[in-house]
Amino acid sequence: MLGLSTPSGFIKVSKLVSPWLWTACVLLIGAGLYFALFVSPADYQQGQTVRIMYIHVPSAWLGMFGYSVMALASAAGLVWKNPLADLVAKASAPIGASFTFLCLATGSLWGKPMWGTWWAWDARLTSMLILLFLYFGYIALQNAFDDPGRGARAAAILALAGFVNVPVIKFSVDWWKTLHQPASLMKMSGPALHPSMLTPLLLMVSGFTCFFVAVLIVRVRTEILAAKIRALRLSEIHAAQGSGVAG
Amino acid sequence: MKRLIEIIRRDLRLALRQGSDSVMVVTFFVLTVILFPFGIGPEANILERVSPGVLWVTALLASMLSLDRLFQADYEDGSLELLALTPTALEILVIGKVAAHWLTTGLPLMIAAPVLAVLLHMNGDGFVALLVTMLLGTPTLSLIGAMGAALVLGARRGGVLLSLLVLPLYIPVLIFGVGAIDSAVQGLDYSAQLLLLGGILLAALPLAPLAAAAALRQALE
């Protein structure tokens, strides 16, 4: 696929795509913020706090999207033993974890004025918290081995095992009718939001997604370069040792 | 099947001869539960209210105690590589190890739990639910735990890491286990929670050994 599956091909393609992604990200988030903060109306019940939604929902989406990317890349890495897939999985974990944390933090800020509490042991909140800990476990397992390849493969198996949580989060609000409101965006009957709120929300979601992909590319590129530096250093050491023995 | 029984017998014999592992797990379980009346006061009604949660959380922690020994000893002395070289599939090996782990930790925990429930003043209606949820839940704990134990083989600080990996995956078992006992104590129907626990066990039964065997292959490479 466009020579994307090798590290050098990835660097080539990413150099072409990156500037466009960053531009799209800035434009989308800029427009989204404008619509969210100035054009869209305040909610008749929630007042101005409804605007937290424009950060909260994209973060939640990326928290789950990041885990899905990680699990898919892990599966690809395990099946095809593709080094790039391992790097993508590794790179998406901290970004996804950050967005999951952002989702929980904004949700907490939103919950205080709306539900009267910073935190509730509601099904969706709890499953999102578990997702955060799954990310932590993944990152910790990855760094626990002296051989980075072994860490990547062990973590990949964990990522796949933890993937069961993602559909549980998505459907938690439908299965257990607790404090968190049910799905209003991705429904069979179409979104339940008024267009004036839907427009900025979709702009923000796509802007955040562009941001995620752009940061992911930066991280993967850094990992590739770091691996190259490591290999160069190793070969230098070997060369020095080789000449030492010969001399 | 014969090989599976062989593996279970080998592990049980090892556990018996080396002793202490199951005794230690049960002692930990009893001691931790006994800490709660000191920690939250001896009022019977409070203890009764928290007893399902206390029993399940401590049972969960206790069953995790012996997990890091599950593959570690065999990995260190090399017998895991020999076992992997036999024609038996690694998945079967994992199932055998899990069965032995459950027999040496899950089963003793299940036997100790009702005694502790008496100490915590649990309502008599909850006892059957406690035993049934433990019967359905603890094998799942061993299965998920085996996957975690296989993943951390050869890792730095394996023991602490193991708890970080396994505990989030234990939460569903905890939720439905405690939920069933709570319903039973209030005299409600708790078959839904039991079905969910059974469903989790049935899902973990094939999936966890697959994942654990994959992890073992990585560790032995």
Mark yes or no for CB contact A145/B156 under 8 Å.
Answer: yes
Query: Phi first, then psi: what are they for B172, rounded to 5°?
Result: -55, -40
Give the closest-approach CA distance of A157 to chain B in angstroms. 6
A102/A108 Cα distance (integer angstroms):
10
| pLDDT confidence of residue A4 | 64
Mark yes or no for CB contact A145/B167 under 8 Å.
Answer: no
A168/A123 Cα distance (integer angstroms):
9
Across A119-143, average pLDDT: 85
Q: Could you say which of A133, A137, A157 has the minimum Cβ distance to residue B211? A: A157
Quick one: what percent of chain B has pLDDT higher than 90?
Answer: 27
B159 touches chain A (CB under 8 A): no
B165 touches chain A (CB under 8 A): yes
**pLDDT tens, A9-18?**
888 888 888 8
Residue pair A128/A63 in contact by the 8 Å Cβ criterion: yes
Domains, chain A, ordered by start: 17-215 (1.20.120)
Q: To 5 degrees, how large is the angle CA A166–CA A222–CA A231?
A: 115
**pLDDT tens, B152-164?**
888 887 778 888 8
Across A88-99, average pLDDT: 92
| pLDDT confidence of residue A174 | 64
Closest to B126 (Cα-Cα) out of B134, B135, B117: B117
Give the closest-approach CA distance of B221 to chain A in angstroms. 9
Q: Could you say which of B156, B164, B215 has the minimum Cβ distance to residue A154? A: B215
> Other CB atoms closer than 10 Å to residue A114's CB: what's the count?
18
Q: Give the chain A residue whose CA is nearest to the CA of B212.
A: A157
ipTM of the prediction greater than 0.90, yes or no: no
**pLDDT tens, A208-223?**
999 999 999 999 999 8
Residue A201 buriedness (CB in 10 A; 0-12 / 13-18 / 19+):
buried
The whole domain housing B26 covers 2-220
Give the closest-approach CA distance of A159 to chain B in angstroms. 10
> Other CB atoms closer than 10 Å to residue A45's CB: what's the count?
8
Q: How many residues does this entry show for chain B?
A: 221
State how many domains chain B has. Answer: 1
| pLDDT confidence of residue B32 | 92
**pLDDT tens, B100-136?**
999 988 898 999 998 898 888 888 888 888 999 999 9
B65/B62 Cα distance (integer angstroms):
5
> Other CB atoms closer than 10 Å to residue A89's CB: what's the count?
26
Instruction: Tell me chain A's radius of gyration from C-alpha atoms.
Output: 21
**pLDDT tens, A39-52?**
777 776 777 777 88
Query: Phi first, then psi: what are they for A47, rounded to 5°?
Result: 70, -145
**CB interface of A with B, residues 186-245, below 8 Å:** none
Mark yes or no for CB contact B154/A145 under 8 Å.
Answer: yes
Is the model more confident about A187 or about A94? Answer: A94
Is the model more confident about B135 or about A1? Answer: B135
B141 pLDDT more than 80: yes
Closest to B162 (Cα-Cα) out of A126, A94, A74, A158: A158
Predicted confidence band of residue A247 (pLDDT cuts 50, 70, 90): very low
| pLDDT confidence of residue B198 | 92
Please tell me whether residue A125 adopts helix, strand or coil conformation.
helix
Mark yes or no for CB contact A137/B165 under 8 Å.
Answer: yes
| pLDDT confidence of residue B218 | 85
Give the closest-approach CA distance of A129 to chain B in angstroms. 9
Burial B119-154 (b: 16+ CB within 10 A, else e): ebbbbeebbebbbbbbbbbbbbbbbbbbbbbbbbbb
B128 touches chain A (CB under 8 A): no
> Other CB atoms closer than 10 Å to residue B43's CB: what's the count?
11
Q: Which residues pair with A47 in a beta bridge?
A: A43
**pLDDT tens, B22-64?**
888 889 999 999 998 898 888 888 888 888 899 999 999 998 8
Sign of CA dihedral B157, B158, B159, B163: positive
Mean pLDDT lowest among A95-104, A118-127, A179-188, B165-174: A179-188
A119 touches chain B (CB under 8 A): no
A50/A219 Cα distance (integer angstroms):
33
A2 pLDDT more than 70: no
Secondary structure of chain B: what % helix, strand, coil (to 5)?
85, 0, 15
Question: How far is C-alpha A192 from the geometric centre of its chain's CA atoms?
Answer: 25
Across A126-143, average pLDDT: 89
Q: To 5 degrees, how large is the angle CA B165–CA B12–CA B68?
A: 20
* Residues whose CB falls within 8 Å of the CB of residue A5, separated by 6 or more in sequence, listed in order: A82, A84
**pLDDT tens, B63-104?**
888 888 888 888 888 888 888 888 888 888 899 999 999 998
Instruction: Extract the tokens encoding A66.
Output: 């990041």
How far is the CA of B74 from the CAs of A244, B9, B14, B82, B172, in angstroms? Answer: 41, 15, 11, 9, 30
B147 touches chain A (CB under 8 A): yes
The kind and range of the H/E element at A107 are: helix A83-115
Instruction: Extract the tokens encoding B86.
Output: 């036999």
A121 touches chain B (CB under 8 A): no
A161 touches chain B (CB under 8 A): yes
| pLDDT confidence of residue A187 | 56
Q: A with B: how many residue pairs have Cβ under 8 Å apart?
A: 59
Q: Could you say which of A130, A137, A150 has the minimum Cβ distance to residue B171? A: A130
Q: Give the chain B residue whose CA is nearest to the CA of A157.
A: B211
Mark yes or no for CB contact B211/A130 under 8 Å.
Answer: no
Across A92-119, average pLDDT: 87
Mean pLDDT lowest among A80-84, A177-181, B61-65, B213-217: A177-181
Instruction: Extract the tokens encoding A155.
Output: 């973590």
B168 touches chain A (CB under 8 A): yes
A228/B6 Cα distance (integer angstroms):
48
